Amino acid sequence: MLCSTPGFVLHTTPYGETSVIARVFTRQLGVKPYIVKGVRTTNGRLKQNLLQPLSHLDMVVYESPHANINHIKEMTPADNNLNPPSSTTHTELDEIRKAIRFFVCEALYKGLRDEEPSPALFDFVSQTLDEINHRTQSLAHHPIVFLIGLANHLGILPLNNYSQTEPYFNITEGRFESYSTPATLMSQRLSLLLHHYIDTALCGHQPPVTSADERKAILDYLISYLHHHIASFGSFKSHEVLHAVLR
What are the phi and psi torsion angles at 32 (to 5°)?
-140, 145
- Cα–Cα dist 58/12, whole Å: 17
- Cα–Cα dist 176/4, whole Å: 44
pLDDT category of residue 112 using cuts at 50, 70 and 90: very high
For residues 135-164, average pLDDT: 94
- Cα–Cα dist 57/133, whole Å: 16
- Encode pLDDT of 165-194 as tens digits: 999 999 999 999 998 777 667 999 999 999
- Encode pLDDT of 200-235 as tens digits: 999 989 999 999 999 999 999 999 999 999 988 888
Q: CATH classification of 92-245 is 1.20.1440.120, yes or no?
A: yes
For residues 15-21, average pLDDT: 90
Class of domain 2-77: mainly beta
Lowest mean pLDDT among 18-27, 130-139, 221-230: 130-139
- Encode pLDDT of 23-54 as tens digits: 999 999 999 999 988 888 777 677 778 899 99
Domain ranges of the chain: 2-77, 92-245
Quick one: what percent of the chain has pLDDT higher than 90? Answer: 63
pLDDT number for residue 147: 97
| Count of C-beta atoms within a 10 Å radius of residue 186 | 23
pLDDT category of residue 124 using cuts at 50, 70 and 90: very high
Whether 85 has a pLDDT exceeding 70, the answer reads no
Kind plus residue range of the DSSP H or E element containing 24: strand 19-26
**pTM of the shown model:** 0.91
Residue 48 carries which side chain, given as an amino acid letter?
A: Q
